[in-house]
């Protein structure tokens, strides 16, 4: 998340607000996913399998986790990666899902807070072979939050900024494709001359 200013300006805002500090495990239930046999994974399917990596491990025709669920990768080189899964998916054995979020916490605010602190979460890694993050360490991760109305305002601004960045990225990719096409046309014309 590039726009960290809302979280970094907490001290300035906090003159008028009360920020509460809790452990993540006190406001959500953290559940480990279910491992699928690699031989059952497909290259395409209706539901992606989220495991310990950034990208899906594969696809399946079944799901075990509903849409708009926050996950944190449990194992592998990307352990600590935070994702908001916007569609139904299969939560694999190297993935923590955050369910039953307390009514005091707005889901998108929690996602942006965790994403903003992703590097701190990644530093919870243990293990010399395949790194992983222990459930007790994720449960003990500290969350600082204001009242629900302010959480909603913050997450709305960040959601707007995220959408704006996605639009700019799509435009950039479109212009890059146009540039490639023009370069090819110029090379063809140069050969004709």
What is the model's pTM?
A: 0.78
Quote the pLDDT of residue 52.
82
Quote the pLDDT of residue 164.
82
Question: Which token pair is 193?
Answer: 């001359």
Quote the pLDDT of residue 1.
46
- pLDDT, averaged per 10 consecutive residues of the chain (193 residues), comes to 52 66 96 87 89 88 94 91 95 94 95 96 88 94 93 88 81 83 77 64
Quote the pLDDT of residue 74.
93
CA 9 to chain centre: 22
Query: Mind giving me the DSSP string for the chain?
Result: ----HHHHTHHHHTTSS--EEEEHHHHSEEEE-----GGG-BSS-SEEEE-SSSS-SEEES--SB-SSEEEEE-BSTTTT-EEEE-S-BEE-TTEEEEES--TTS-HHHHHHHHHHTHHHHHTT-B-SSS-B--HHHHHT-EEEE--HHHHHHHHHHHHHHHHHHHHHHHHHHHHHHHHHHHHHHHHHHHHH-
Quote the pLDDT of residue 44.
85
Domains of the chain: 5-155 (3.90.220.20)
Q: How many angstroms separate the CA atoms of 5 and 172, rounded?
A: 25
């Amino acid at each position: 998340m590039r726009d960290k200013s809302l979280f970094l300006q907490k001290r300035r805002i906090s003159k008028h607000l009360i920020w509460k500090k809790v452990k993540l495990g006190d406001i959500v239930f953290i559940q480990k996913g279910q491992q699928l046999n690699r031989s059952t994974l497909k290259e395409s399917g209706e539901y992606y399998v989220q495991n310990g990596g950034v990208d899906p491990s594969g696809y399946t025709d079944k799901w075990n986790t509903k849409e708009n669920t926050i996950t944190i990768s449990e194992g592998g080189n990307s352990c600590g990666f935070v994702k908001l899964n916007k569609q139904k998916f299969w939560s694999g054995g190297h993935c923590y899902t955050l369910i039953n979020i307390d009514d005091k916490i707005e889901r998108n605010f929690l996602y942006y807070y965790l994403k903003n602190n992703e590097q701190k979460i990644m530093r919870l890694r243990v293990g010399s072979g395949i790194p992983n993050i222990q459930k007790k360490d994720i449960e003990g991760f500290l969350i600082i939050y204001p009242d629900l109305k302010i959480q909603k305002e913050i997450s709305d601004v960040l959601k707007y900024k995220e959408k704006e960045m996605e639009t700019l990225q799509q435009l950039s990719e479109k212009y890059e494709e146009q540039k490639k096409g023009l370069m090819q046309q110029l090379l063809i014309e140069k050969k004709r001359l």
